[in-house]
Amino acid sequence: MTTTSTPQKDASALATSLFAHAAEKGGQGDIDREKINAIVMSLTKESKFTKEKLAHHSEAEKWAAEARRKVATLDAAQRSVAAHHVRQNEARLEASRSSRWCAVIDFDMFFAAVEIRDRPELREKPVAVGGLGMISTANYVARRWGVRSAMPGWIGQQLCRRGPEFGMPRSELVFVRPDFAKYEKAAATARDIFAEYDPDFRSYSLDEAYLDLTSHLGGAEDADPERARSALSEIRSRVRDATGGLTLSGGLGPNFRLAKIAADVNKPDGQCSVPRGREAVLAFLRDRPCRKVSGVGRVLEHKLKAGFGVETFGQLLETMPLVWHCFTPKTRDFLHRVALGVDDDNHHQDRESGAAAPKGVGNERTFEPTNDREALTAKLRDLCELVAGRLREASLRPLKCSLKLKRDDFKVTTRTAQSDGRPVDTADILEAKLRPLLEDDIAVAKGAAQRFRLIGVRTFDFAPEVVERGGRGRRRGDEEDDDDEGLRRGGATNDNKKRQPQIDAFFRTSSSSPAEKPAWRPPLPSQVDADVLDELPADIRHELGEQMGRPPRKKQQPGSRSWRRGSPTAQDDTFARLLEMGFDQTRAAGAAARAPDFPAAVDLLLH
């Protein structure tokens, strides 16, 4: 059935693609999202922020158009080969399916709940913690007007005042200044209780925790599900009593990815358990939006929807053979895991191996636009002290750090400070590394009459010998979007890399294990991104051409197939096409020799 397009529908869809705050939040399941998003779009369409987001949206649209074109040109053999690779990858992923008892516990509207606990007169009013610039948390009353976290406060205020346009009364949004000392005290009380059930629990923010309850349940992965649900309910009840009535929602599943999705199902003050086993997991995921999983952000969500018509986990699983053709191995493997409900985190393994979980530790702050040198350097110093404190708490020693700046036109730059191989784990060292970068950018900005509205400090590349103890930081796989999709480029280049690594970056990874030495095989045109190839220096393009067209001569073994410089035979053509589709060289050679034509060779390899 075709959905009729209207200006309001189009504006709402565009807002969802552009803004994080246009996506559904817990407690907003029955609001008129379409009308609310259309209002948000009308309020912001002329802003610099929206124009910057529209530029990124245009790039995603181009990507989706190229994906549709590529999918439309796939022949039956290419589709069969992709389906074959998907089946192989699925078998590999299924072998890693976990059956532990993982719980994710999340305070409901945490900052707002603490404020309402201390000020009961706010309970029935729309409340937002934050200000006109940005909202940190909104209570469930405010969410009925479409107000939510990550939304500019002035937009939230306008939504409350324009409630009659979408079936709500006119109201005034009550702003409360954040009091982090109170929030940290409540979080510490909860963490003391969490530690009784999982001493190695992970907490990546004040309002959320990841607990592996398997040991608490006697170490049995086949323990009674009712015991696990009772344990989760007990934790929530104890924290509620200890914090003066703050409620929590929880999710229980065989891995943390599923538990995280489940924690959002019965908000507020409820819990949900994901049944165990492949079929039960797929049934749980089938009709849920892909956006529900961490790692699928606005951009990737839009690419899936516009490029493949994919919105739900079930649709993603059905479409994996097509997705396989349009993303690089890293992204398609992540999407395949998401569609199957298989996690890639190693919470229980990290505690044994001592590996540091976070990929990076950092903080950023948004403020009124300025190019005042003293004000900006003071903000940098505050951030360096904050990040250094988090590093001390987690016993992490990063070797690299970067500075993120956002201008008042919402252009973002990120620069990494030069590393000397020594840890950058104190506020003084971080400031010494990053301040020159900031001062350079301040000088450039003043010359162009530009100002800054955000500073971020991030540390990464942790020293391998350091054991992580605190576990606070970004969870693996929680990046908003993976920008290495393979339609436009095959890898990133860096001007100061040596030539061979630069060339190697444009080839797909080999399926051989690191311990094996794969047989030499010439790169094929499909393994090289044509657009990137055109941008390379002439000498590197020539070297790639040499590799693709002139394989080394070697002594022919009995039964082996030679590469002929003359006119290719049918077997040569079949062999090359099989290699181009990703089949192993030995198997491809055998199929080409046995089969009368290319379709028959593909059939041999697939069956």
Catalytic residues: 208
403-425 core/surface letters (b: 16 or more CB in 10 A; e: else): bbbbbbebeeeeeebeeeeebbb
C-alpha 345/C-alpha 416 separation (Å) is 27
Angle at 466 between CA 460 and CA 467, to 5 degrees: 110
If 0-12 CB within 10 Å is exposed, 13-18 middle and 19+ buried, where does residue 238 land?
middle
104, 263 contact by CB (below 8 A)? yes
d(CA 567, CA 584): 24
- Give burial (CB, 10 Å; 0-12/13-18/19+) of 242: middle
Q: Quote the CA–CA distance of 490 and 167 in Å, as a whole number.
A: 49
Q: Tokens representing 536?
A: 């390379």
**Separation of alpha carbons 42 and 40, rounded Å:** 5
Residue 415 · residue 402 · CB < 8 Å? yes
End-to-end CA distance of the chain: 37
Q: Residue 307: how many CB atoms within 10 A of its CB?
A: 26
One-letter identity of residue 88: Q
**Contacts of residue 224, Cβ cutoff 8 Å, sequence gap at least 6:** none
* Spatial separation of the C-alpha atoms in residues 165 and 291, rounded to whole Å: 27
Question: Counting beta carbons within 10 angstroms of the beta carbon of residue 447, is it exposed (0 to 12), middle (13 to 18) or buried (19 or more)?
Answer: exposed
DSSP tag of 593: H
Adjacent-strand bridge partners of 401:
459
- Using N-to-C axis directions, what is the helix angle for 76-94 and 329-340, rounded to 10°? 60
* Sheet arrangement for strand 127-130: 135-138, 127-130, 174-176
Distance CA 185, CA 182 (A): 5
Q: How far is CA 112 from CA 151, 254, 299, 422, in A?
A: 15, 31, 29, 42
